[in-house]
Structures are given as C-alpha cells and as structure tokens.
Chains A and B, each alone.
Chain A
Amino acid sequence: MAERVSLASGSAGSRDRIDVGVDAIEHGAVDYIAFDVMAEQTLPGQVTSEESEATGYDPLLAQRMRAVLPAAHRHGVKVLGNFGALNPKGAAREVAAECARLGLHGTKVGVVSGDDVTALVREDFDTYFGDQGVDPENLLTAKAYLGAPPIVECLEQGADIVVTGRVADSSLYLAPLMYEFGWDETDWDRIGAGAIIGHVLECGALATGANWQNLDARPVPRLERIGGPIADVTKDLKVDFRRAQNTGGVTAVANLSAQLMHEINDPAHYLTPDVDANLLSIGFTQRDGETVEVRWTGDPRGHVRPEKLKILGAFADGYIGEVILFLPGPRAAEHAEFIEPLVRARMEHLALPLERLRFDYVGSPKAQNGVPEPPGAGGVLRIAAKAQTQEAAREFARFGEYVIVMGPMALGERRWSVKPAMNVVAAFMDRALVEPQIETIDVPAAAAVAS
C-alpha cells in the first residue's frame, strides 16, 4: 500500500490549456493527473455544438491526449478524466486508438459509464422534473453524477487511463486515494478528506492564481503559464499543496481558501455522490513560498453519503439569436440609443415570433453637458432575441447585423450568431436506480494494430 500519493489537476473545463497537464506530468513529480472537461454548463455545448455532435464527447480529446499521454507513459502517471460527455465508450475508444497511434502498446483504458439516466427520467418524469416548469417532450438527455467507486474498480483492473461520463469532479481525485490507500467507501472521515482535497483541486489554476490578480492589486507571477494545483497526500492525511516547477502562479492560503469556497452552498454539507463532506474541517498554513500545508481542525471531515444522486436534465428551449455591434467613435452610446428603437420597430414590422428581445450596451458613456468623449472612445451593443424557431432567431439576427449599414451613420464591425438555447435543470434520483458500468480496453500490441 502506498505511503504517499501525488495528484495533479490537469484542466478545469473543456477549453482549458493543454500545456498545464503536460507541465504537471513533466515537472510535477506526480502519480495521477485528473482532467475535468465538463462543467455543469458544458453539457448544452456538447449536446449542440457541431464539433462534438458527431462524437458526443470532448472535441479537444484527441489533441489533449496526444500532448499528455506520451509524457504520462514515460513518467508512469495515471490519467483520469470525465472526457466522455454523452459517449464515454466512444471517448475511451478514441483514447485507445490514440495510444495505439502513439505506440503506447499494452496500455489499459478503463471506461465508466451508466451515468445516462434519460430512460429512467422518461419513465417517471414527474418524480424528477414535475414541478420545475419543463416539458418532457423537450428533454434531450439526463445524466447522473456518479462517484468514485467505479473509477476505483477500473484502477483495480489495472487501468492506466480512466475515461468517465458525468462523475462528480471531486471523485476523479478521491478515487486514486481510495485505491492507493485501500480506503473503505464507508470510511466517511477519510472519504470526506479525499473529497475535500478533490474539491480544492478540481478547478485547476483557479486554486493557484488564475482569476485573482486585479489591475492594481494581488499580482500573480507569470500568468501566461500558471500551473495547476498538486496535492501530496500521505496515508495518514498529511496534505501539502504545491505547483509543478517552472510554472507561473501562486501557491497561497488565500487562493486555496477562495477555491475551497468556490460555488458551494452550506460548507458543513458539501454533498457529493461519495460523501457529505465537511468543508469546515480544513484550514491552510503557508509553509514556504511554494507550499501550503493543510491544517485539519479535528472536526469530522465527512458524514454518510446522500441517499440520492444529483442528476442534470438538459431541455431544448428554442433558439437565441445574438448580434454584436462594435460602435466606434465618441457618440457610441447615442448610436446605441438610436439603434434600439429602430430594431424594435423593424421586429414589429416583420411580426417575427420573438419571445424576448434585449439590448446591452457596454462602453463609453453618453457625453455629459455637451462635452464629448475623446476620440477613440466607443462601445459595443449586444442585441439578443429568443424565439422558439431557428428561422425567427435567424431573421432577427440578420436584420440586427445589417442595421448598422442601413441605420445611423455609424458603420462598425458586426458579428451575429444563432444558437439553440437549453435549460439545464437539476433533480435527485435514488442511488439504487443508477447502475454504474465499467469495462476496460486493452491497447493492442504493436503487431496487432491495423495501419
């Protein structure tokens, strides 16, 4: 059984920088790296984006794996990630194919699926979403947040890489600790500690200096290459946070504290599929410029896990047309004021079936007391319209874009787009109904690989 395990965070969201993970593997002296590529709001993007429509999973997967896997293989680092989105098995096959192309023969890829609960929700819609103002006909997909145990099972079967669908972010970090230290999944204090560590790691560089510096305060060195957080965890739960060598960013109590509180509700009950974790049980002490030590308060770190799993339903909700007008010059605000009623009048004239229309102006204020803004001032007018049909949203956007040509003499750059709108709604499902599944794929030996 391991004495110490080092976990790195490789990404926070599907568009996060690829070199963060590579740096952690090459210069971080870590055992595991986990990638979160699926924020709550990523789901709509992956249901609807043209890039991932064909595959149903992270569009950057192959590119990220090509950069990460050779280094991971060389350093013996195991890789975990919720790369699967709507299609964990497809994502795992792609990872296995990438391993073969890279010559990483003998690699074992584990897959965790079973997070798709769309059929269960359809059978019993009102139980989950009956009181949430959504229509079963618009349900596109529903996913349950799975926990760490199926990931542990993949590791037990010898997986070097584990690809999951929707799992709690913290579970990607908790699982290697459970596996390496042999923790029982009902050892709530230790499981709680692991989930808390995972929660601090899960947002990547948000814990190490991203999203922190102000224009005139809190300077963060080398923002262009911030490293993600790394946790060194011993079996008796002494924990240090640090970053890979040669990376930018900061490892500091304040940043880690902000991350601990990021997007939480009651800190005494941070609910995950694995445990009801107690975020009040952790404090931080700065050891040196590059290391922060965890100071456990002695309070219980976790309590028995919730009986229900959180699920997310994605519901189609028409289309949003969006127009961005760049209004150059000192009278941008007045041009925006001029354009708004013009667009409204045109929409009335066309009688487009728009549900809502909104105008947001961002930029130089209107001249006060006849004193004009200096040359170079300007602003951006964003106009959005919501419609049930794509045609109506498109008609709106076409006119909205063209208004700058046929409206006032204020021609500037303009962009427009039409996207499906989607409501992502949370609900809860009995754990017993959800059946996580695992399988492993062996990357064939060199001789067996087709060209």
Chain B
Amino acid sequence: MKVRDLAVVRPGDKSDNCHFAIVANDEAASDKLWMTLTPDTVRAVVGAAPDAEVERYRLPAINGIVIVVHDVLEGGAGYGWALEKRYPLAEQMMEIPVP
C-alpha cells in the first residue's frame, strides 16, 4: 500500500517552505499516515537537509494532516530561480509505501 491509496496530498508554499495538505480517506488511514510520514521520512522524500525543520499537525475533525518542510524551495515560486517543484514533491510523497 502507498500513501496515495490512503489520502490525497496537495502541496502549497510560503516562501522557501513547502506545505503539504494531506486529506486521509478516514480515521484509520489518518492514523497510519501519521505513523508513516515521520519528519525523517518526509525530509528524505523531499530532499531536505537532515536538520531541516519539519512541522506536523493533525486535524482530527477532517482526518487531515499538515506537514511543513522548511527551506526546500530555493527561494520559492515568487523569486523565480528554481523550477516549480511542489507538485513533483507531492507526487513523490504519495508514492511512499505504507506498511
């Protein structure tokens, strides 16, 4: 099973930070994803430095998880240096295996 079987991951950004809005199919799926998408796993998937700050939050009323990875967008979309990479990162996150 992969993340994409349990949820939809939609990316966003604020400056250099990449935001992921994760809508799980139900409460059980949300629990599994919370266990799977640890800061270390997320950092590895998005190619963040090992000490990059990762914020994680749960929204139980909507089976939601918010993950924010700091300093991974090389200036962000407004700056115009790096190519857009939020969506490829969300796709990669949806490919993560869930035990």
Contacts and interface: CB of A to CB of B under 8 A. Distances in A.
A282 B79 contact: no
Nearest to A417: B80
B21 A320 contact: no
Given A254-B8, A258-B21, A265 B55 contact: yes
A253 B62 CA distance: 8
Interface in A386-442: 386, 419, 421-424, 426
B78 A40 contact: yes
Interface residues of A, number: 46
Nearest to B68: A265
Counting chain B CB atoms within 10 Å of each CB, the highest count among A44, A45, A258 belongs to: A258
B98 interface: no
Contacts of A281: 61
A260 B77 CA distance: 21
A258 B8 contact: yes
Contact of B19 (A42, A257, A262, A423): A262
A156 interface: no
A426 B15 contact: yes
Given A44-B78, A258-B8, A265-B68, A297 B83 contact: no
Contacts of B78: 40-45, 422, 424
B81 A358 contact: yes
B77 A362 contact: no
Interface in A287-346: 295, 297, 320, 322
A280 B13 CA distance: 21
Given A261-B66, A426-B15, A266 B57 contact: yes
Contact of B21 (A44, A45, A262, A360): A262
A212 interface: yes
A211 interface: yes
A218 interface: yes
A320 B83 CA distance: 13
A382 B82 CA distance: 10
What size tier do the contact residues of chain B reach? 20 to 34
B14 interface: yes
A279 interface: yes
A40 B15 CA distance: 8
Contact of B10 (A40, A262, A280, A356): A262
A382 B83 CA distance: 9
A263 B80 contact: no
Interface string B35-61: 000000000000000000001010111
A164 to B, nearest CB: 20
Given A265-B55, A266-B57, A283 B62 contact: yes
Counting chain B CB atoms within 10 Å of each CB, the highest count among A45, A280, A281, A322 belongs to: A280
Contacts of B68: 265
A260 B81 contact: no
A272 to B, nearest CB: 14
Contacts of B60: 280
Contact of A261 (B21, B76, B83): B21
Interface in A370-385: 382, 384
B81 to A, nearest CB: 6
Interface string B71-90: 00001111111110000000
A262 B12 contact: yes
Contacts of A41: 76-78
Given A261-B21, A282-B61, A362 B83 contact: yes
Nearest to A44: B78
A181 interface: no
Nearest to A296: B61
A386 B23 contact: no
B97 to A, nearest CB: 18
A322 B81 CA distance: 9
A264 interface: yes
23 contacts: A41-B77, A254-B23, A257-B21, A257-B63, A258-B21, A261-B10, A261-B21, A261-B22, A261-B64, A262-B10, A263-B21, A265-B57, A265-B66, A265-B68, A266-B57, A267-B64, A279-B59, A280-B60, A358-B81, A386-B81, A419-B80, A421-B80, A426-B15
Given A218-B8, A262-B12, 6 more contacts: A260-B59, A261-B59, A267-B57, A356-B81, A358-B81, A422-B78
